[in-house]
């Protein structure tokens, strides 16, 4: 398996450096005949774009998706789909002064030790911009899943920023479209509260870690393999392959575990298990959380005024995309679970 | 990639059902010429064996390792190493009454829906006994790593059982041999405390979740790939592919994230990042925690008196083995990082 | 991909040295619920066994198949199937004198240069005995294919030994059972002719190369992928991964190509293309030939009187098994060709 | 493994349809720090270009290579290299009349049956134009191999067109540059002979099959794995994954096999074995031949006047590129053959 590939039956191969010529993905294994709605793809891509509100990075990239293979007359061919965006607003000059001085808290020093040669501009391949590739792949999967299981919804939100938790009841009853309306995808009644916090952080060079929560509502059952490709394991891999993540948990989460087993198992809350048993989806809601460290760009001379004070809001579409990719991969895999002859 | 394989340059393929004929592993990619100490392998295997203390499962398996390929005259051949143990003390009769009645909290129902046909005895392939395969593979890797980087130590312990935390200072200064001496691998001055708790739980049909903590001390640097096979991602995959795990985190852990970035990054504690930056090991101690739910065997008529009241102590050698496997896989991978001509 | 694995959706991982403890295979990806006829498996295995006629190697191995996982109550579980035979009649002492003197025409010298450490006994992992693993895997696939496409038959024969060609009309109208009745699986009216040639060769320390021809009769259509896993490419890989093979061709073979295109394409013989177009089976008979060099064991002091004067007859079940494996792999793959929602 | 990927340690993922937007490749696993000579890449690519002489296809594509990732300041980064060319001179209108009428001898019918949906223009993904992707990948590998083993040369030529053989002595003593000077890469003293034959064929709508011969001169030893990734097996896979190939053989070829073993093995010609024993290169010249059917484009209304009367000359750089890719893949693999601590 190569270092830039993800998936088992369906595979995405991502490529591109932050300030190189292009960033994109090659997706292999999508069955033939799936109609593709290009404008929906572009719209999904725009959800992670920088420059969309006052407190996120102001790198203004059009991020116009080009798909150069695998789709003909609006439908997939069963051949590899290559999609990418050209990088345009890459202020590489900003990075000249760090060329020989790796940034604290960034990947540069470790990368340099490992590979000897490094594209220092904007994090190179370690940039969060790499996640754009994943969104393209996940957005295509979502179009497939919408046909396979229209009732299934992958919905994520920011459930904590710094020390501030969202309104969980509001979050769990909101659709993706509704969550996208909240500033910072942070569901809370007083929506200006967090906008101000983030604006202040941006002004003051501050940043916050936070928590993303993802729900797969009305999921298909029987997805996931029993040993190494458990559904929980593949979702965790997806989450932990993002740059700023430091943890992941499923079900009701870590605090719920520190009780006696008679109490834990007495519950009728199926959510205790996160909707997955023995690695396989049961059909109950799948719920997991991903933990992000505060962005280190505050320390970063090069990014003066262009940093995200909290990266989690923009990570939501990436996590949703990755979850959809994992679901589609396992759906394909599940087609040969049983000998049906 | 198949559902029962793990690794990139080094691959383990595991096989076997809990009450089938044998449980084992095929390991492909170990370089030729590595001397193998068989008695050390067996000793590592014995560390996860049931029946080793009053409060763990009393299934008394000799778990005698047979290696049938890949090693000749005490050294690896560079060919696949197949190692397994025959199952012996499989009281399959115990499971007759659950054949048509899947156990609550176990994988059986999800498995049955998915595959149609199931080995209901002792969890079949979903049994924790599958982890024996991983210990064989990891123990071989550890012998390789001992030669490659003798200073590197993979040490795990139980850092919490139910609501009781271990003595963290004691834990972080104890060697693996010292930790193995603590009841339940739970480092604490008053070592009888936890032994009594577990004995009571066993008597009363109670169980506890808990936390395992793993440290990779004096690790090699430059291990890990920058995108999908980040070192943190592969370690998380390894942890989340175990049956009872519900979460994993790195560095100083989740509570450390809920602070402002200026505070988080101001620290000089390299452990904030868990010893990994951009997916690549920096050489600083790597630290991660794995969260386990209370074992559901308390609910399990079939296992009357044979259950583990807390599974975490026996998971420690499994996690150590998996970590060693991941390290060896990435060491092999790192041999071709740079073009050295 | 590891060096001892073959297949894409269905994977076989083979292991074992000729005079090691065991030789076997781990098969991952067989769907759950396939009934397995163990005695048919053993019978298939016996077809490649040494010691079955006067002129083949006299190493008398019972080759009793043990399956230790993946099958329960006579049906596959969807989990990895591990099957192997213990090596018994390994006259390793025969090989002592070659320990430090690699045999001309064998793999030992190249192996030693590459790996440093080598199991010199009977060819170690390079022994033809490794093919036993493939037969186990292929025989299981054949049981599946018999249910999926009962009309499809994989039939091979020896079409040339040294300079002597078989009777091609007889070959192409004979069933597998009929071909197994011919001495040396060489279809010819005067069946004693070749038996005498081989007996003489054995007596005189002579050997012959030869040609195996494989037909897939009434094959499923739509098997094979369009670029790297063309059906012809995967079948060629299978053939060329055997030890003594030096070539492979499809359709009417090499001489048929040296004509003008107007003549070649004017024909209505679909067999020109070998039943495969654009890498995909058309439903017409698939025909390919595999070319073997004369066995080098004639040069081999260690094998005095135990060599096969022509290896091709025993290669037939191996090639049939590999073909069945490739077909089953591609059948599984074809289940997700089209988006069917 | 996905259907459009090739390689084990080094992997190429190819994409693109003949008349789609672009054709290209993603190469993952090239170590960091390799200097890349872009003009040499373009020159290699131009060697397979249509329109280069009177008798090849007149599709005049500039085939300008764009590399959009993986290379920075003229050196590889160790990240995926994505290279492609935009399709420009795609006279898709030519194919309108075949949209609903698959061409005899082409892949369209099999493809349509399999996938349902097809890009009928110019063969779509089944076009020979797909090989352009492989040339990009192989040309990069060749630059690496030139540094690793400067004495090693991969040289191919057309050794037979229709019934006419080349001058083998001339071929085996010519460099690649010299062979490129012969019309149709067909080494023969009277070089106009074959040019006339091909010009006549083009005029008369005739075509020819033929044979490509590839030599790896002064090869590295110890490349190749002993079981499934034998060097001969991977080279055969590479050859048989091309569209028009029907066979491959190694060493002195098929006729050499039909002799008695005492004669075959008595020879001191190491070339008998094709430079590979037990799947591993010995350091002797590696020689193999690839057999091509006459192109079926003669039957093809759409290609009136644009067909190649013999495809083999343009296949030479493709086969050289694939061989170089296989060699580089195995060189990377060989870096971890032995445990060197």
Q: Report the C-alpha gap between A256 and A104 in whole angstroms.
A: 36
Q: What is the pLDDT of residue A39?
A: 96
Task: Kindly tell me the number of DSSP H helices and DSSP E strands found in chain C.
Answer: 9, 14
- B22/C78 Cβ within 8 A: no
Mutate to test the interface with A, among C32, C80, C339 (most CBs of A within 10 A): C339
- Minimal Cα distance from C84: which residue of B? B68
pLDDT at D194: 92
**Spatial CB neighbours of C62, under 8 Å, sequence gap ≥ 6:** C85, C88
Contact A312, A118 (CB under 8 A): no
pLDDT at C254: 79
Residue A60's pLDDT band (boundaries 50, 70, 90)?
low
**C188: containing domain:** 5-334
Q: Whose structure tokens read 């999926």?
A: C148
Residue among D225, D223, D224, D289 at smallest CA distance from D251: D289
Q: Rounded to whole angstroms, how far apart are CA atoms B299 and B279?
A: 40
pLDDT of residue D103 exceeding 70: no
Residue A122 has a pLDDT of 82
Which residues does chain B have within 8 Å of residue D78's beta carbon, measured at their own beta carbons?
337-338
Nearest to B295 among A261, A281, A293 (CB): A261
- Burial grade of C305 (CB within 10 A; 0-12, 13-18, 19 or more): exposed
Cross-chain residue pair B337–D32, CB shorter than 8 Å = yes
Test B13 with C26 for CB contact under 8 angstroms. yes
Instruction: Kindly state whether residue B11 falls inside one of the protein's structural domains.
Output: yes
Residues of B with a Cβ under 8 Å from any D Cβ are 9, 29-34, 76, 78-79, 144, 147-148, 226, 332, 335-341
Model pLDDT for residues B71-98, shown as the tens digit of each residue? 999 999 999 999 999 998 655 565 666 6
Q: D287 to chain C: nearest residue by CA?
A: C246
From the CA of A65, how many Å to the nearest CA of chain B?
A: 21
Q: Which chains touch A (3 or more CB pairs under 8 A)?
A: B, C, D
Cα dihedral B118/B123/B128/B131 (nearest 10): -30
Of B105, B114, B237, the CB nearest to A280: B114
Of B33, B82, B119, the CB nearest to C116: B33
Comparing C-alpha atoms, which of B294, B320, B319, B318 is closest to residue B307?
B294
In a domain, D302, yes or no: yes
Residue A149 lies in a domain: yes
Tokens representing residue D154 in the block: 């991969």
B282-300 tens-digit pLDDT: 999 999 999 999 987 665 6
Distance (Å, whole) CA D197 – CA D202: 9
**The pLDDT value given to residue B280:** 96
pLDDT at residue B60 in the model: 64
Confidence bin at D297 (pLDDT 50/70/90): low
Residue C339 counted as domain residue? no
Contact A28 D4 (CB under 8 A): yes
Q: For residue D341, is it within any domain?
A: no
Q: How confident is the model at residue B279 (pLDDT cuts 50, 70, 90)?
A: very high
**Is residue A271 included in any domain, yes or no?**
yes
Rounded to the nearest angstrom, the minimum Cα separation between A159 and chain D is 34
Q: What is the 3-state composition of chain D as percent helix, strand, coil, each rounded to the nearest 5?
A: 40, 20, 40
The SS3 call for residue B177 is: helix
> Who's near D143: CB < 8 A, 6+ residues apart?
D34, D35, D36, D37, D40, D41
| Residue C145 DSSP one-character state | H
- Closest C-alpha among A136, A138, A155 to residue A67: A136
- Provide CB contacts within 8 A for A248, sequence distance 6+: A235, A236, A239, A240, A288, A289, A290, A291, B236, B240, B247, B248, B249
Return the residue matching tokens 């390929």.
B69
D292 three-state secondary structure = strand
Q: What is the pLDDT of residues A176-193, one digit of tens each?
A: 999 999 999 999 999 889
Give the separation between CA A257 and CA A207, rounded to whole angstroms.
30
Number of CB atoms found within 10 A of residue D40's CB: 14
Asked if D17 and A75 come within 8 Å (Cβ–Cβ), the reply is no
CATH number, domain of A292, equals 3.60.150.10
pLDDT band at D91 (very low <50, low <70, confident <90, very high): low
Per-residue pLDDT reduced to its tens digit, D179-218: 999 999 999 999 889 999 999 998 888 999 999 999 999 9
For residue B150, with 0-12 CB atoms within 10 Å meaning exposed, 13-18 middle and 19 or more buried, which class applies? exposed
Task: Answer yes or no: is B30 within a domain.
Answer: yes
Report which of B126, A81, D133 is spatially closest to residue C79, judged by C-alpha positions. B126
Report the pLDDT value the prediction gives residue B312, as an integer from 0 to 100.
95
Find chain C residues with C-beta within 8 A of A9's C-beta.
9, 336
Judging contacts by C-beta atoms under 8 Å, the chain C residues touching residue D239 are 236
Contacts of D16 in chain A (CB under 8 A): 68-69, 80, 82
Q: Are A215 and A172 in contact (CB under 8 A)?
A: yes
Neighbours of chain B (3+ CB pairs under 8 A): A, C, D
Largest CA distance in chain C: 66
Nearest to A14 among B207, B227, B230 (CB): B227
Q: Do A259 and B14 touch (CB under 8 A)?
A: no
Question: Out of A33, A226, A341, whose CB is closest to C338?
Answer: A33
Tens digit of each residue's pLDDT (9 = 90 or more) over D140-149? 999 999 999 9
By C-alpha distance, the chain C residue nearest B33 is: C117
d(C-alpha D64, C-alpha D42), whole Å: 7
Q: Measured between alpha carbons, how far is C244 from B169 in angstroms, rounded to an integer? A: 62
Residue C74: inside a domain, yes or no? yes
CB contact under 8 A, B78 and D337: yes
**Number of structural domains found in chain C:** 1
The CA distance from A201 to the nearest CA of chain B, in Å, is 9
Q: Which residues have CB under 8 Å from A319's CB, separation 6+?
A: A156, A212, A214, A238, A239, A242, A290
Count the Cβ atoms, other than its own, within 10 Å of residue D169: 9
Nearest beta carbon to residue B147 from set D9, D30, D341: D341
Of C111, C250, C299, the CB nearest to D280: C111
- Do residues C69 and B5 lie in contact, with contact meaning Cβ atoms separated by under 8 Å? no
The pTM assigned to this predicted structure is 0.96
Of D221, D237, D238, D228, residue with least CA distance to D280: D221
Query: How confident is the prediction along chain C (341 residues), in pLDDT tens digits per residue?
Result: 689 999 999 999 999 999 999 999 999 999 999 999 999 999 999 998 765 565 566 556 788 999 999 999 999 999 999 999 999 865 556 566 666 666 666 688 899 999 999 998 888 998 889 999 999 999 999 999 999 999 999 999 999 999 999 999 999 999 999 999 999 999 999 988 999 999 999 888 899 999 999 999 999 999 999 999 999 999 999 999 999 999 999 998 777 777 788 888 776 566 677 899 999 999 999 999 999 999 876 656 555 556 788 999 999 999 999 999 999 999 999 999 999 77
Verify whether the Cβ–Cβ distance D107 to C221 is below 8 Å: no
- Rounded distance, CA D170 to CA C130, Å? 41
Using CA atoms, how far apart are residues A324 and D329, in angstroms rounded to an integer? 33
Higher-confidence residue: D52 or C312? C312
């Amino acid at each position: 398996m190569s270092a830039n590939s993800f998936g088992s039956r369906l595979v995405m191969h991502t490529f591109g450096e932050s300030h190189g010529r292009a960033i994109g993905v090659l997706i292999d294994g999508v069955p033939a005949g799936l109609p593709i709605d290009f404008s929906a793809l572009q719209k999904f891509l725009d959800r992670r774009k920088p420059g969309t509100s006052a407190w996120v990075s102001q790198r203004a990239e059009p991020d116009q998706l080009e798909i150069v293979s695998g789709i003909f007359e609006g439908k997939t061919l069963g051949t590899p789909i290559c999609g990418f965006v050209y990088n345009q607003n890459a202020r590489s000059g900003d990075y000249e002064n760090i060329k020989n001085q790796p940034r604290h808290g960034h990947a540069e020093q470790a990368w340099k030790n490992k590979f000897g040669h490094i594209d220092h501009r904007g994090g190179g391949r370690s940039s969060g911009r790499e996640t754009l590739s994943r969104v393209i792949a996940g957005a295509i999967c979502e179009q497939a899943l919408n046909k396979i299981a229209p009732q299934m919804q992958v919905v994520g939100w920011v459930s904590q920023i710094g020390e501030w938790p969202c309104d969980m009841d509001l979050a769990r009853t909101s659709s993706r479209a509704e969550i996208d309306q909240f500033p910072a995808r942070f569901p809370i009644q007083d929506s200006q509260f967090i906008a101000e916090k983030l604006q202040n952080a941006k002004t003051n060079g501050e940043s916050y870690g936070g928590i993303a929560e993802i729900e797969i509502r009305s999921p298909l059952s029987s997805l996931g393999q029993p040993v190494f490709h458990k559904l929980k394991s593949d979702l965790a891999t997806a989450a932990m392959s993002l740059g700023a993540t430091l943890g992941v948990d499923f079900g009701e989460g870590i605090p719920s575990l520190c009780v006696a087993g008679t109490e834990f198992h007495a519950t009728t809350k199926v959510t205790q298990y996160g909707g997955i048993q023995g690695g396989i989806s049961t059909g109950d809601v799948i719920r997991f959380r991903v933990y992000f460290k505060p962005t280190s760009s505050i320390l970063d001379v090069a990014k003066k005024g262009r940093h995200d004070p909290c990266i989690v809001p923009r990570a939501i579409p990436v996590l949703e995309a990755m979850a959809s990719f994992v679901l589609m991969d396992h759906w394909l895999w599940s087609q040969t679970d049983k000998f049906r002859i």
